[in-house]
Every structure is written in structure tokens, then in C-alpha cells.
Amino acid sequence: MRDSRISRGAVEGGAKRVLLLIGAVSLAFCITGCSGLVNASKGGNSTSPTVTITAPASGAKVSLVNGNHALTAVATDTSNNKAASAPVTINVQNPVPNQPTVSIASPQAGAIVSNTITVTAAASGSQGIANVQFQVDGSNLGTGDTSSPYSQSWDTTKVADGNHTLTAVATDTSNNKAASAPVTINVRNNQPAVSITSPRAGTIVLNTITVTAAASDSQGIANVQFQVDGSNLGTGNTSSPYSQSWDTTKVADGTHVLTAVATSNDSSHQPASASAVVTVNNSGTGPILSATPGWYKVPGTALCGGPENASLSVPDNFPNNLNSNYLSYRFSFNATCESGFEDSSGAVVDTTRNRIIFWQGGHSGYWGNDVFDFEANNIGTGKPVLLRLNNPANPNAPVGSVDTIETLAACNYVAGCTPTTNSPGSRHTYNNLVYIPSTDQMTSFGGGLTTQGNASSALWTLNMDSVLQSCAPTATNQQGCDPVWTNATPSVAPPGGQINFINYDPNIGQVWGIYGNNSIWLYNPANNTYSQHGSLSTGYHNFSVLDPVHKLFITAGSDGIHYFDVSNTANTNITFQSPTVTGCSLLTGGNAGTDGQYPGMVWDPVAQQVVAYPNGGNALVILDPITWTCTTETYGSRQGTDYPQNTIILSGVSGTFGHFQYISAYDIFVLCNDPNQDCWYLRRNR
């Protein structure tokens, strides 16, 4: 059948046309100057026939490799005279089966780069990948990389400043090729250096302040223009020191972006800018939170000390530091402080007080059983946001075994020291902490104990009204809060081991849990009892969240995504389901440079979705529990500036756990994932 996309008479009188053929194409030739069967004829003294290709029509089928090909028709008359047509060039472009796929992984589109960077790509194909050739503006960058991960070093100083396009071309072992979508980046090597020197990012400001900046360029600085939220603040400053007065009472309380834009004397040098987010608080109230979607750093919230605050841990010689007559506990609290966040531990949201309670440690890491508090109410007010609420018990004074420290003795180094009663030894708290509003308690289910990491099956409760910011340790209140802990382990409990995944169900006021990776249990705080509701089999490299709307207990991580239905508490044979999910590899496989296990996950009651932080990067994973489809939301482009540092992953045994939480009163998500870096809060774009 003739291909209707190519009209008859496309090539006549020897004229040359280029035809694009796709699929199976038939060719036919109309020949004049012929006699007999082919209807040839001669004119004048001509002894040779004439021939013209008029169009592909019915006839022999063409099967050619992709590319340009020349078609020629040779006519022979009944007297054996021959004539050839002018050649017709066609371009065959048939789909290639099993064509490889390739994409640029780094840098991301819109990135600003300078000096020498590494360009990376991901490529795959059913025939295997022979090489990936990187290109800059269509020209090859080095030679093709033949092994994964595919990368190429690029010295950006070899190109002009401005936008450039990166492409990766993958070739499989059958020589099929595919090009990535182009990624446009901006090269900036010849530009001024500029920084805001005052106020520092995260500072709380009021009344009238002076904004200052430092700037330099090889050809000198023409001017520095200050801006507030993108609008010019005064006129450009032409001489150093560069400064501008700012009356903060002219803007609303809240976060604002200060920017300094430096322009060189050399017009070929692109302007450069530096920004700092500050909080204006002229009213003196709080919290002061941005309404603009994005991540925001909370200054002074590094648990073990960071750019704006000292370590919140007690000193290594505690309590000898309080009084030389007090004997030291002989434990390196400050030296092991990082283990509290870096090990496998969680946190809970005290919804009554809009705060996050951190309790962690265990194994051979941090042995302090003190409690830490992220006060969302204090964000932007100048008051401390992250506090240590109490002093630790002596980790070398266990009640019972010294290898499996379930309980620590009450303090006795001086009359009135705290804690005044026995308390639980520190432990990996994994996904084992919940806040129960009806009892106003944080409840801990098991955990990995000091010193050997043995599993606990104990249930401990902590009265939230015994650990408040008002009683936190100070110079004049050295003892701090006196935590009220209770070992409330029921007489009938899951046999041995520990519960690995715990979630509070607000619909029934009870707690669902997965015990020992093999059974489903329900804990009722009203009568302090457990009941079994099913069996299952699952890995433990996950985190869990409860969807109270669709009544699902969901687990996700490097073991995949699973769930069970919690709508019927009378059901004692609940089954574990493995839905078919779409687009969730970032949640189950981790982010670039991180690990898929133990992601942070919370329920978003506004959007009725699961929101997950996949241990790093600037993309959140949004899981729809109806369609089981994952999408991503990206916030920020400069790590450490407008999105957080990655979660520290130690030897494949750690993750975010409960260090990613949602504060419903303020509709913000909070991440505290590095003991030496500040916490962040996120305002979702929805």
C-alpha cells in the first residue's frame, strides 16, 4: 500500500528531493520511453528510454537501517537500451526497539557552576550500555565513559560565562543511541565576590539596623545594591565599606530576605549576589514563621554545638562540673553527643504544647537518658528553640545487669539532685515512641539498650508536664526538670524482643504496633493491655506512619512499601498488603548519596497525604494512599542555604527516623537530622 505521507510526483524531471520514510514503504516507478509490456516509447532520434521516480507507491518494500539512502531507477527498453534516473535521497527513521535511556543526574537544570565540576548521568538499556558521551553545547566533552557511574570532569573556565547546555548520549552494545533531555546551567567564573557581613543569616532584628557587605572583583567594584525581598533598599553603594540603613518597622514581622548585589567595573563580569534570611520581630511575639513555601533554617538549634550555639549536652565530667565535691559519672557525654542523632533514634510531637521531644542513645554510643525539646512556639522570638530539659542519670549506676541496662538508679550525688526516681537507660528508640494525648505522656515501646544493644520489651511512660522549658537547666537552676518516668510494662505483652513500628491511632486513642517483624498488636493505654491482631513478615529497614483518614498503617523504606488496615479493631486476622506502587523509588531506594532505609515520614492532614523526607536532597516524596502513587516536591537549589543538609548515614544502620515531624498548630514540617547543624522547618506549597 502506498504511504499516504509522500505524494505522487515528489521527484520529477531529474529534480532531487529528500524524503523522510517511516515504517515499511513500497516504491513504484512510472517509466516512459518503453514499449511492449512496460509501454515504452521513443521520441525523435532518441535511442534511450527516459525514467523518472514519481513517488513511492505499490511495489517492492524497503528494509533499511536508519539514515540517508539514495534511490535510483534504471529503465531498460525492448531494444535493451538503459537509462538511470537522477538519484533521490531519502532518510529512514524507524523506531529502534529497546532503545537505551539516559538522563543528566548532576548538575541540575538552572544550577550556577564555576571552576571544575563533575557532570554525571544515569543510563540503562536492555542491550547494556557501551558508553555515555557527554556534550557541552553539542560538542563532545572528553571521551565516552564506558562504566557506571557515568561521569566526566568539566573545566568551566574553558567556556564563556553565561548559559550552556549539557547533554549525554548513551550508546548500547548494539550501537543504538539515545540522547538525554538537555540541561541548561549557568557558568559564572568571572564575577565579583560578595557576602553579607551583618546581620548574619537567621538573626532576629528590630527597629533600625545597618546592613553591611563585603565585595571584591579583579577589576574593582562599581557598586553594591542592597535589597529587601527583591526590592532595592536605597541606592547603590559605590565605596567600601558597603552599608545601608534599614528601618525594619516598615515591613511586617516575619522572615525577610536581604540581598547584596555586587556589580564589577568590567561589564563583561556578571553581577554577583549574596543573601541572608533574617526574622523581623518588632512585636516581640512568636512564633515568627514564613508563609512562603520553602525550607527555613532555625538558628541556634545544633544539638551538639554548631555555628550559633554551644553543645546542649552536659560536660564529660558531669556532675563534677557543677561542684568539685561531686564525683564524675565517668562518661563522655559531650564527646558522644553526636551519637544521639546519628544512631537509630526517633522523636515525638507533643501536640498539646507544639513541641518535639527527642530521646535517644543506646548501644555503645550515647548513654545519657536526658530529654531534649524543640519548642516551635519560640521560632523567631529570640528565645531558645532547642533545649535540654533535664540532667542524665548516672549511666554507670544500673539497676540490674551492667550489659543490658534497662533501668538506671535515682540520682544520689547530692540531696535534691535529679532524677529523683529510677528512670530508663538510654536506648535506640527507632520507630518506638508515641505521644498519647489522653494521658499526656510520651510512651516508649522497647528499644536497643546500652551497652550491647540488646532488645528491650519494656514499656516506659514519661509525664510531659514533668519536662517543660520552664524548668530546663540554667546557671541558677542546675538540676533542671525532674522527669517522672514509669515502667508500665503490662503483665501480658508480646513475648520477648521488641515492637519495631509504633503509631498512635487518634480514631480510637490506642497504639498500633508491629512486633518482631512478624505480628500486629494493639496497645490500649486506658487499661494498659496488648492484644494481637494478625501475623505478617516484614523487614525492619523501614519507618511507618498512620493514615487516620483511610485507616491504614503504612511502612516504607528499603524493604518496599506495605500497609495493613486498622479500621476494624475486632479483626484478629489482619493481613499485611504489598500494593503496586508507582514512582516511589526515591522513597524505597534513597536519595543521591544517602540510603533508602529509615526515611522520615509523617501524615499531612491538610493534603491527606504521606510526606516523606528520603534522608537527603531537596525533594520530598509525596505518597497518595489511594492510588499508591509517589510524586516529588522540590524546595531550594543550594544545599545548606535554602534546603537542609543530608541525614548522616553510618555504615548503613541509620536514617532520619522520627527527626522529621509535622507541627499541626503551625502547619510546618520540622527536620533535625544533624547534631552539628541547625534544624529546619518547611512550609509546603499546597
How confident is residue 471, by pLDDT bands cut at 50, 70 and 90?
A: very high
Contact of 275 with 196, CB cutoff 8 Å: yes
User: Do 469 and 387 touch, CB atoms closer than 8 A?
Assistant: yes
Entry pTM: 0.65
Q: Are 624 and 683 in contact (CB under 8 A)?
A: no
Q: Show Cβ contacts of residue 496 under 8 Å, excluding neighbours closer than 6 positions.
A: 455, 457, 516
How many Cβ atoms are within 10 Å of 113's Cβ, its own excluded?
17
Q: Using 50, 70 and 90 to split pLDDT, how confident is the model at 336?
A: very high
> Given this model, what pLDDT does residue 678 score?
96
Using DSSP's 3-state secondary structure scheme, residue 546 falls into strand
β partners of residue 247: 208
Given a cut of 90, whether residue 592 has pLDDT beyond it is no
Contact 86, 17 (CB under 8 A): no
Instruction: Please state, for a pLDDT cut of 90, what percent of the chain lies above it.
Output: 62
pLDDT reported for residue 185: 94
Asked whether residue 8 carries a pLDDT value surpassing 80, the answer given is no
Look at strands 485-487 and 372-375 and give their pairing. Answer: unpaired
Domains of the chain: 18-92 (no CATH), 101-187 (2.60.40.10), 193-285 (2.60.40.10), 338-683 (2.120.10.30)
Model pLDDT for residues 229-283, shown as the tens digit of each residue = 999 999 999 999 999 999 999 999 888 899 999 999 988 888 889 988 888 889 8
- Provide the pLDDT confidence category of residue 33 given band limits of 50, 70 and 90: very low
Amino acid at 52: T
Given a contact cutoff of 8 angstroms between Cβ atoms, the answer to whether 77 and 83 are in contact is no
Place of cell 519548642: 375
pLDDT at site 78 = 85
Distance CA 236, CA 242 (A): 9
Q: Hey, what amino acid is at 132?
A: V
Confidence of residue 645 (pLDDT cuts 50, 70, 90): very high
Does residue 189 carry a pLDDT above 50?
A: yes
Cα three-residue angle 471-477-479, rounded to 5 degrees? 80
Other beta carbons within 10 Å of 495? 9
Question: Cell match 506502587: residue?
Answer: 581
Tens-digit pLDDT profile for residues 65-95: 666 778 888 888 888 888 888 888 887 766 6
How confident is the model over 198-225, as pLDDT tens digits? 998 767 889 999 999 999 998 899 999 9
Q: What DSSP character marks residue 199? A: S
How far apart CA 272 and CA 350 sit, in angstroms, is 44
Q: Looking only at Cα atoms, what is the longest distance across the chain?
A: 131
For position 4, what pLDDT does the model report?
34
Q: CB 288: neighbour CB atoms within 10 A?
A: 19
Please write the tens of the pLDDT for every residue from 160-170.
Answer: 888 999 999 99
Closest by CA position to 166, among listed 153, 149, 148: 153
At 402-442, the pLDDT tens digits run: 888 999 999 999 999 999 999 999 999 999 999 999 999 99
pLDDT at 488 over 90: yes
Per DSSP (E only), the strands in 173-281 are 177-179, 183-187, 193-198, 204-205, 208-216, 221-228, 231-232, 242-247, 254-264, 272-280
Mean pLDDT of 30-54: 44
Model confidence band, residue 64 (pLDDT cutoffs 50, 70, 90): low
More confident residue, 30 or 332: 332
Q: What is the DSSP letter of 582?
A: B
C-alpha cell of residue 251: 515591613
Predicted pLDDT of residue 13: 36
User: What is the pLDDT, as a whole number, of residue 649?
Assistant: 79
Asked if residue 49 has pLDDT above 80, the reply is: no
List residues bridging with 679 in a β-sheet. 298
CA 160 – CA 112 distance, rounded (Å) = 13
Average pLDDT of the segment spanning 526-541: 90
Which pLDDT score is estimated for 538?
84
Is a pLDDT exceeding 60 seen at residue 26?
Answer: no
Is 70 exceeded by the pLDDT of residue 570?
yes
- Mean pLDDT score of the chain: 86
Q: Tell me what pLDDT residue 91 has.
A: 73
In percent, the amount of the chain with pLDDT more than 70 equals 87
Look at residue 632 and tell me whether its pLDDT is greater than 90.
yes
3-state SS, residue 38: helix
C-alpha 403/C-alpha 256 separation (Å) is 52
Instruction: Provide the pLDDT for residue 39.
Output: 35
